[in-house]
Amino acid sequence: MVLNPPLTAAELATLIGAEAQGQTERLVTGLNEINRVAEGDLVYVDHPKWYDKALNSAATTILIDKAVEPPTGKAIIISQDPCRDYNKLVRRFMPRAGWTNEDVSIGEGSEIHPSAVIGPHVRIGRDCIIHPGVVIYERASIGDRVTIHANAVIGADPFYYKKRPSGYDKMVPGGSVVIEDDVEIGALSTIDRGVSADTRIGHGSKLDNHVQVGHDTLIGAHCLIAAHVGISGAVVIEDHVTLWGQVGVPSKLRIGKGATVLGQSGLINSLEPGKTYFGSPAGEWKQKMREIALLGKLPELFRKLKD
């Protein structure tokens, strides 16, 4: 999410009652979690496993729970609870707008069913069709010639929590959803907003019914995603990818351009472009088919060994 106007690291530290060190007068232009961080951003880190990744990321201000040497040209903000304080900043700079009709833009020729619920600051382009029961949360952006079928939900909160002894603390979302031109979203599909940036569906992509797209996932152009596919958060799916029914994609993987994943496959690694995959764990489909054929011969081989 973008800070407008930007503030210095020192000013943000004051807001949360923390201590800033290093280049404290450097402007912070955005708040982002580690998967989508960019230059000028503040990122938080609260586990030693991720210290190096955060400190060496593109972020120029790091909200951290330990006093460390600030990287050259960067600032650190030392906090007893970075997750809590990051949530404070998100609530301050992007408070929930509630369910109002404030600042909704609907393009010429678009048809919105009366039972659809459109949140504030939503943009809907030209010649769109929004079917009954669709819910579009605040700040979502819908391109031209987009069709969203009945009871789909666009922009629900990300499934993103911090585990504590007392339970799970919700990460306050500061991102949204962008659906580009000529996309079709099937009935009862759900596309979660980003934690701090946007979840994006590229132009010309088609999603079947009952598809789940997790937070901060980027789907490229002209992708085809069949029913019951589940895509976790922070996944990158390049252009012209096909995912057939019931494919499962874990978080933070990348699927290369033009790849095809056959039905009921479960990914465990990123996939190379232009290849076809099958199985759980998924592999190149010809090899997986040979493995399945050989498995069918195991009883016969076992009998021969006994004899």
Tokens of 36: 């989508």
CB 229 within 8 A of CB 247: yes
Edge-first strand order for the sheet with 19-22 is 2-8, 27-31, 41-45, 61-64, 75-78, 19-22
List 131, 149, 210, 215, catalytic entry: 215
Catalytic (active site) residue 215: yes
Where do we find the tokens 């190379």? 272
What is the DSSP pairing of strand 248-249 with strand 167-170? unpaired
Task: Give the active site residues.
Answer: 215
